[in-house]
Structure 1
Amino acid sequence: MASSLTKESTARDNTPVAGGKTLFGHPLGLAPLFLTEMWERFSYYGMRALLVLYLISGGPDAKSGSQGGGLAMPESTSLAIYSVYVAMVYLLAMPGGWFGDRVWGPRKTVAIAASVIMCGHLLLALPGKPTFFAGLALVAIGSGLLKSNISTMVGHLYNGPKDPRRDGGFTLFYIGINLGGLGAPLVIGTVGQKVSWHLGFTLAAIGMGLGLVAFLIGTRWLDPKSATVPMPLTAAERNSWLLKGLIWLVIAAIFYGVVVGTGHFTINWALVPIALIGLVVPIFVLARIKRDKELTSEEQTKVSGYIWFFVAAAVFWGIFDQAGSTMSTFAEKKTTDNVFGLHFPSTWFQSINSAWVLVLAPVFAAMWVALARRKREPSSTVKFSAAMLLAGASFVLFAIPMAMATDGKTVSPLWLITIYMLQTLGELCLSPVGLSLTTKMAPQKYASQMMGVWFLAVTAGDCVMTLMATSGVNLNSFGVILGEAVVAAVAGAAVWTSRKKIEGLMGDVR
């Protein structure tokens, strides 16, 4: 399960919880959760900004004259590793929510998750491939555990979905995410890229450590519900899960033992199976929900409509998440690294999306409210269509500087700034709308799991990128970039032309 937010009762009154004290009208518990998420995102986006550049550093695909000391891996393999890593963070959000609901409770799960993330970054700070990939796995596991449960605890602070402060609280929480995303590449990116990769990863660990301290200090202000396990496993269920996990662990150990022992192991033996799992799991989960005979006919119909949005979102995130892969290497090797004589590291480009969100999100929120008052707000299908077209337009625009940057030439940073702006406009049309649709269209039986399903759209999109990279497709080529733009545009056009059909499947949801 992804989150317990949608299972809260609406019967509670509107008085503050957690001791009745407030901070600017919000429960005091919002402060430690805000800081924990901000520092977690600081560590995550800082590490992500360095990831591909560190993987190629010291190898033939690194920028001439750049800092060495990395893993000297081919760019295609590095892009695949990046994509599968991001995919796993979102895939693991679903079992992360399950642990919070059934094993440890949200509060304990977040404390454990933050500790795991911090240990992962510390392993990244050590030289060598084994420790690096072990650290990467720990960061992905910890992020998955934390992602769902900390949002659930924000929901616990408020008196049900009808609490008038609730949306404002989540807005402040979202600001924390983007503050972390804005600052991380400027600090961690600069230190890692210009001083020492390993010192950069160490700063990411320190950031998560600060978040863990803030969380532990602030637990006294959290709602008591966050410390309980909503649906604890029975002894029989616990033993069953342990047995299943052990069986799969033994199977994997035997399989990879044979592959390694016979000398056939390459990095693709790890990347391809993980990417395939990332594609199979969303299909399996949606098919299981769709075929559940306990659902009403109305719920079945809404699930059919939701699949349209899921597929469109997967295409969108497949393009959007290349900010840290193809666009990162383009920024490093083919974009001018100075403005008005001021030189800066290419990791700074990773801050642009968060900066655009902080600038544009209030504008979008006000615009939707103003249009709704005039009864002219676009439908969800129209917003999704716009998001897909904006994603496609961003890569059409990306193809232009890509064609210009040949024979050692570099292009203006304004190209990437504009591309990120288009993608952020698309994100603001799709991401909040998708979250809202998920809560509205989810069958009651799967209210929590559907939030995890929404995260799986990111997993699916990034796993497609992984499979393309591992199959030899050059994700940085002019033709592939244009091809992705066409796919996004076709997906947007399909949603647009089918909007009446989709809206019919949505029932009373708009």
Structure 2
Amino acid sequence: MASSLTKDEAEREKTSPASDTRFFGHPIGLAPLFLTEMWERFSYYGMRALLVVYLIAGGPDAKPDSQGGGLAMPEASSVAIYSVYVAMVYLLAMPGGWFGDRVWGPRKTVTIAASTIMVGHLALAIPGKPSFFAGLALVAIGSGLLKANISTMVGHLYDGPQDPRRDGGFTLFYIGINLGAFFSPLVIGTIGQKVNWHLGFSIAAAGMAIGLACFLWGTRHLNPKSSVVPKPLTAAEKKSTLTKGLVWLAIAAVFYGIVGGTGHFTLNWALIPITLAGLIIPITVLFRIKRDKELSATEQTKVSGYIWFFVAAAVFWMIFDQAGSTMSTFAEKKTADNVFGFNFPSTWFQSVNPLWVMALAPVFAWLWLWLARRDREPSTTVKFAIAMVVIGASFFVFAVPMGMAGDGTKVSPAWLLMIYMIQTIGELCLSPVGLSLTTKMAPQKYASQMMGVWFLAVTAGDCTTGLLSIAEVDLNGTGMILLQAALAALAGVAVWMYRKKIEALMGDVR
């Protein structure tokens, strides 16, 4: 008997979310998203590995025998710039999600984002401060546009929040992130630090170009929802949004024109407002979503539960993201750069965390499934509590080599290898789980924007670090390291103690 399905309908039936297992048991659409994110992370982490050492190169805080040609900035200013830059990448994920929800749809937003990132890296490849800071801004804008929307498209591939493959899919996606993050410091870091800084930035641009090509090639395998604008702006909203944007742009232009024209402008005039905004905006956004009267009672309750995870994540990332600043300068100046006579650049340490992720992520993915089959998998709340205690433990350990290096002794690289391993265990308990949790708990109205909210936790953590650096707090001091470690551990204990209350707010999400 002839089928009543057309060829296209039959193909869709054959590759429905539940039956499509062509990419390691997951929908084939995960492949282009995996590759796009891998190459975007290659470009991002390669540039990030160079950032602080490039900023201090040629200045008083640089390693004596290091390559010159950098911006010769003090270490405190460099750490502040790094922290603000990383914070802005994640802060801009919120408007990135808004563009996906209200203007372009996730698929078009990612295409524009990848193009912007590529241009930003090309600007970094041009010597000079103006092109450098313009490049940083473009990469931050592009990364913000990309991050929330590409994660949302991963969620679109699965058959609803209860699809048992969903957490595994995000973990596999996370492996793609870390493949790019592992190779980039070895390639971009080595060439930038040992040959030419700007050649390194050029290679980052090439990596993003490959990622863009992978995405455009694979768009036919994505869920059609990825091309839909969930809630397009009305004509009145477009006019209002454009007017508000131009007003704020004019205010900023006039203000900084006056400050610069009177000769009072310093770097802090830019850094302090941005770091304060990075703390105020997350609070404002969560408050606005929580008070949205269009949300159902269940959705509002879930947002209340989500706030607990947001605060915990902010503390976690405050410590974790110092891998590229506090720990990067420690690696550059206070850690031995050779093993058995083999010398290597300090940027190679930035490959250690993704290497641990690739080694341990499959173990964790298997472990969660093994425990789930026996009905013993820890809840999301317990996983977050474990992550907080573990990240605190990593800085308790970090205090040991920091104390050993106080007299000028260079410590063994094994210390950083161990600290990164501990941090990776915490990361795997929090980051892929948090991405999946966000797609499950997001109100329908804020589907892409809630991914931006998740990334705002990184903004809040990094802006805290940035403010401390601007205030010239010694983040390399043993006392400050121990204080942060204790704060994270106490936060983990608090999440554990209140886990039943949090889980009650989560409704049917576990």
TM superposition score normalised by structure 1 = 0.91
Closer, same or farther in 2 for the Cα pair 1:167/1:403, shift >3 Å? Answer: closer
Instruction: Measure, in 2, the Cα distance between the counterparts of 1:93 and 1:300.
Output: 22
Deviations 1:58-106 (A, max 9, x none): 0000011100000001111110111111111111112112212322232
| Residue 345 (structure 2) aligns with | 345
Contact 2:167–2:433 (8 Å) recurs in 1: no
CA gap of 1:291–1:107, structure 2 versus 1, over 3 A, is closer
Paired letter, 1:246: L
Q: CA deviation at 1:156?
A: 4.3
- Equivalent residue of 1:400, what SS? helix
Q: 1:206 to 1:257 in 2, by over 3 A?
A: same
Distance in 2 (CA, whole Å) between partners of 1:292 and 1:24 is: 40
Structure 2 residue aligned with 1:491: 491
2:6 match: none
Aligned position for 2:426: 426
Q: Where do 1:116-127 residues align within 5 Å? A: 116-127=116-127
Task: Spell out the pairing of 1:288-327 with structure 2 (5 A cutoff).
Answer: 288-327=288-327
Change (3 A) 1:444 1:153: closer
Equivalent residue letter for 1:477 = G
CA contact under 8 A between 1:14 and 1:159: conserved in structure 2? no
Q: Offset of 1:309 from its aligned partner?
A: 1.6
Q: CA deviation at 1:121?
A: 0.6
Residue in structure 1 matched with residue 179 of structure 2 by the alignment: 179
Partner of 2:99: 99
Aligned pairs for 1:393-472 within 5 A: 393-472=393-472
Q: 1:287-318 CA distances to partner (integer Å, 9 max, x unpaired)? A: 12223344454444433332222111100000
Quote the Cα distance in structure 1 between the aligned partners of 2:449 and 2:110: 18
In structure 2, the CA distance between the partners of 1:99 and 1:131, relative to structure 1 (3 Å rule), is: same
Correspondence for 1:207: 207
Using the TM superposition, give the Cα deviation of residue 191 of structure 1 relative to its aligned residue in structure 2, in angstroms: 0.5
Q: Is the 8 A contact 2:385 2:492 kept in 1?
A: yes
Match of 1:255 in 2: 255
Deviations 1:141-174, CA, capped at 9 Å, x for gaps: 0011111222333444555556676555544432
- Structure 2 Cα separation of the partners of residues 229 and 303 of structure 1: 23
Aligned residue number for residue 245 of structure 1? 245
CA contact (8 A) 1:16 1:158 kept: no
Contact 1:13 1:159 in 2 (8 A): no
What is the one-letter code of the residue matched to 1:77?
Answer: S
**Percent same amino acid among aligned pairs?**
76
What CA distance in whole angstroms lies between the structure 2 residues aligned with 1:65 and 1:334?
Answer: 13
* Post-superposition offset of 1:483: 1.0
Q: For residues 336 and 68 of structure 2, what CA distance do their matches in structure 1 show?
A: 20
Judge conservation of contact 1:391–1:422 (CA < 8 Å) in 2: yes
Distance 1:14 1:443 in 2: 30
Q: CA–CA distance in 2 between the matches of 1:160 and 1:499?
A: 25
Q: Give the AA of the match of 1:242.
A: L
Q: Secondary structure at the match of 1:104?
A: coil
Which residue pairs with 1:86 in the alignment?
Answer: 86
Whole-Å separation in 1 of the counterparts to 2:27 and 2:341: 47
Residue deviations 1:266-303 (CA, integer Å, cap 9, x gap): 11111111111111111011112223344454444433
- Quick check: 396-405 or 498-507, which moved more? 498-507
Q: Which moved more, 1:379-388 or 1:110-119?
A: 379-388
Give yes or no for contact 1:186–1:348 (8 Å, CA) kept in 2. yes
SS at match of 2:70: coil
Matches of 2:170 and 2:392 in 1, distance apart? 29
User: 2:391, 2:165 → 1: CA distance?
Assistant: 33
Aligned residue number for residue 36 of structure 1: 36
Quick check: 1:14–1:163 contact (8 Å CA) kept in 2?
Answer: no
Task: Spell out, residue by residue over 1:9-52, the C-alpha distance to the aligned partner (whole angstroms, 9 max, x if none).
Answer: xxx966348xx995666555443332222111100000000000
1:458, 1:378 → 2: CA distance? 24
* SS class of match (2:406): coil
For the Cα contact (< 8 Å) 2:120–2:136, is it kept in 1? yes
What is the CA–CA distance in structure 2 between the aligned matches of 1:376 and 1:220, rounded to whole Å?
Answer: 39
Provide the rounded CA distance (Å) in 2 between the counterparts of 1:160 and 1:13.
Answer: 17
> In 1, Cα distance between the equivalents of 2:158 and 2:386?
33
**Which region of structure 1 is more displaced relative to structure 2, 35-44 or 244-253?**
35-44
State the distance in 1 between where 2:29 and 2:507 align. Answer: 37
Distance 2:487 2:58 in 1: 35
Question: What do the CA deviations read for 1:220-249 (whole angstroms, capped 9, x no partner)?
Answer: 444454444343323222222111111000
Q: 1:28 to 1:363 in 2, by over 3 A?
A: closer
**1:366 aligned onto 2:366:** yes
Worse-superposed segment, 173-182 or 46-55 = 173-182
Call closer, same or farther: CA 1:291–1:224 in 2, change over 3 Å: closer
| Cα deviation, residue 365, structure 1 | 1.8
Runs of 5+ in structure 1 lacking a partner? 1-11
CA distance, structure 2, for counterparts of residue 106 and residue 222 of structure 1: 11
**Counterpart-to-counterpart distance in 2, 1:160 and 1:304:** 22
CA displacement 1:340-360 (0-9 Å, x = unmatched): 111111111101111111111
Change (3 A) 1:399 1:214: same
Q: Distance in 2 between matches of 1:436 and 1:222?
A: 18
- On the 8 A contact 1:50/1:189 being kept in 2, the answer is yes
Distance of aligned partners of 1:208 and 1:444 in 2 relative to their CA distance in 1, 3 Å threshold: closer
1:48 maps to 48
> Would you say the 8 A contact 2:387–2:429 is kept in 1?
yes
Q: Does structure 1 conserve the Cα–Cα contact (< 8 Å) formed by 2:171 and 2:361?
A: no
Letter in 2 for 1:181: A
Q: Secondary structure at the match of 1:96?
A: helix
Cα distance in 2 for partners of 1:289, 1:137 equals 27
Q: Secondary structure at the match of 2:407?
A: coil
Report if aligned partners of 1:387, 1:429 keep a CA contact under 8 Å in 2. Answer: yes
Partner of 1:111: 111
CA contact (8 A) 1:76 1:469 kept: yes
Offset from partner CA, 1:355-405 (integer Å, 9 cap, x none): 111111111122222223333332333222211111111001101101101
